[in-house]
Chain A
Amino acid sequence: MTQVTMTVNGKSVSGTVEGRTLLSEFLREGLRLTGTHVGCDTSQCGACVVHVNGNAVKSCTMLAAEAEGAEVRTIEGMADADGTLSTIQQAFQDHHGLQCGFCTPGMVMSAAALLSENPKPTEAEIRAYLEGNICRCTGYHNIVKAIMAASGQEASAVAAE
């Protein structure tokens, strides 16, 4: 067993983990932060995306012990303390960017990583960036619209054909 300490959503946390404990398991079962979803558990679907030191990673494909000392941000850290949704989350709501909602935490975290790297992405850049996030309701058009809108761009033309 290994002791790990990291900062999650601005709060310092520690716990004892096995070597094989995944970051997704530590977040969900250790910290009860169940907003991070585990869909495929094979690094395909992206439902488990969180930020580690500002970078989007698949938390089902990273060991908790590898996050020692890291700054981790999960979907629970996106809204303000008073519950006000972040710009991206609000845009997902406004543009119906979710149906069942299972993929949404990963979609929002990937969108946030994209907009921090590229504040005004094109539609094609958004679609390329979401390559590792799968939505089985296939609501991609509205997800892309939401991200266009969250970046302050006109979204009405997305998938208008």
Chain B
Amino acid sequence: MYEFEFKRPGSVAEAVAALGSEEAQILGGGQTLLPTMKQRLAAPAVLVSLGGIGEIKGVCTDDAGRVCVGGGTPHAVVAVETADSYPALSHLAGHIGDPAVRNRGTIGGSLANNDPAACYPAAVLGSGATVVTNNREIAADDFFDGMFTTALEDGEIITEVKFPVPQAANYQKFLQPASRFALTGVFVAKFADGVRVAVTGASEEGVHRWTAAEEALSANFSPDAIDGLSVSADGMISDMHGSAAYRANLVKVLTKRAVAAAS
């Protein structure tokens, strides 16, 4: 890892100021960024840790009944704190990486990185959540912008994510056998006004919605409802762990499993 200047501000305002310099990079829990820096794939001149900012940690429920997760909240805390308020989110958070990774990695870091095989983007897009930053609110549908790309501007900090709580939801992932990332994962959420289906790990465009399944499931929320649908392999990721056709098939299989398991 190349040397950098390390800053650990105590508030969002101080962090924004610290990020003013060129080549400054935000450090969340570091579970992706630090390994990336060790490989010298990233070499920021200034690293601004969000670890000392208490105001962006924790979970609460707002007046509209939304589950609000601070951007700096580790996965392990989300898993515990949302167990009653949003069980599908809790289960997803409790199965990212391994226990030690979940104690450091944060929701804000995962979303800002937008790894095409990450779990959290599926929950955020599938729930139709709102990503709150230091200067605006961004709807999930506008936030994810392709693999490793988001609507965030340079130096913009995710302070909170607001999840509307569905009537029923579930996340199913098929583990990549070596890395344990999602080879493909599907988050299904049933709301009073319709169903949302978000797919991670599959597409070269990153996390995305499967709108045909949403329409079918909104009419009939049962695994059989998508029997007649097929997922095109065009634009799906193809690598040594799974071909595009294999991933396309997984999207349908995992969607059916998620609907069957949704509670």
A contact set with B: CB distance below 8 Å: 2, 18-20, 22, 41-43, 46, 49, 52, 55-58, 61-63, 65-66, 68, 110, 113-114, 129, 131-133
Check: B76 CB closer than 8 A to any chain A CB: yes
Interface size on B, residues (CB 8 A): 27
Supply 9 further A-B pairs (C-beta < 8 A) apart from A58-B100, A133-B98: A22-B34, A55-B76, A56-B100, A57-B104, A58-B104, A62-B34, A63-B6, A63-B34, A65-B49
Check: B1 CB closer than 8 A to any chain A CB: yes
Q: How far is the CA of A18 from the CA of B1 in the complex (A)?
A: 11
B contact set with A: CB distance below 8 Å: 1-6, 8, 27, 30-31, 34-35, 37-38, 47, 49, 51-52, 76, 97-101, 103-104, 180
Q: How far is the CA of A57 from the CA of B76 in the complex (A)?
A: 11
Would you call the interface of chain B mostly helix, strand, loop, or mixed? mixed
User: Which of B8, B37, B51, B99: most chain A Cβ within 10 A?
Assistant: B99
Q: How far is the CA of A132 from the CA of B76 in the complex (A)?
A: 14
Known: A63-B30, A131-B98. A19 touches B103 (CB 8 A): no
Contact A132 B99 (CB under 8 A): yes
Contact B8 A65 (CB under 8 A): yes
Q: How far is the CA of A133 from the CA of B99 in the complex (A)?
A: 10
Q: How far is the CB of B104 from chain A (nearest CB, A)?
A: 5
Contact A110 B8 (CB under 8 A): no
Contact A61 B103 (CB under 8 A): no
Q: How far is the CA of A129 from the CA of B95 in the complex (A)?
A: 10
Contact B34 A56 (CB under 8 A): no
Contact A42 B35 (CB under 8 A): yes
A-B contact pairs, 19 of them (CB 8 A): A18-B3, A20-B3, A20-B6, A20-B37, A42-B35, A43-B31, A43-B100, A46-B98, A49-B100, A55-B76, A62-B34, A63-B30, A65-B8, A66-B8, A110-B100, A114-B99, A131-B180, A132-B98, A133-B98
User: Which of A42, A57, A114: most chain B Cβ within 10 A?
Assistant: A57
Q: How far is the CA of A56 from the CA of B100 in the complex (A)?
A: 5
Q: How far is the CA of A56 from the CA of B101 in the complex (A)?
A: 9
- What B residues does A22 contact at CB under 8 A? 34
Query: Which one of B27, B38, B47, B51 lies within 8 Å of A41 (CB-CB)?
Result: B38
Contact A131 B99 (CB under 8 A): yes
Contact B101 A113 (CB under 8 A): no
Q: How far is the CA of A61 from the CA of B52 in the complex (A)?
A: 17
Q: How far is the CB of A149 from chain B (nearest CB, A)?
A: 21
- What B residues does A113 contact at CB under 8 A? 99
Q: How far is the CB of A41 from chain B (nearest CB, A)?
A: 7
Q: What 7 A-B pairs are tightest by C-beta distance, nearest first?
A: A132-B98, A19-B6, A55-B103, A131-B98, A20-B1, A56-B100, A58-B100
Q: How far is the CB of A2 from chain B (nearest CB, A)?
A: 6
Contact A132 B100 (CB under 8 A): yes
- What B residues does A18 contact at CB under 8 A? 3
- What A residues does B103 contact at CB under 8 A? 52, 55-57
Known: A20-B1, A61-B35, A62-B30. A2 touches B6 (CB 8 A): yes
Q: How far is the CA of A15 from the CA of B76 in the complex (A)?
A: 30
Q: How far is the CB of A71 from chain B (nearest CB, A)?
A: 14
Query: Which one of A2, A61, A110 lies within 8 Å of B34 (CB-CB)?
Result: A61
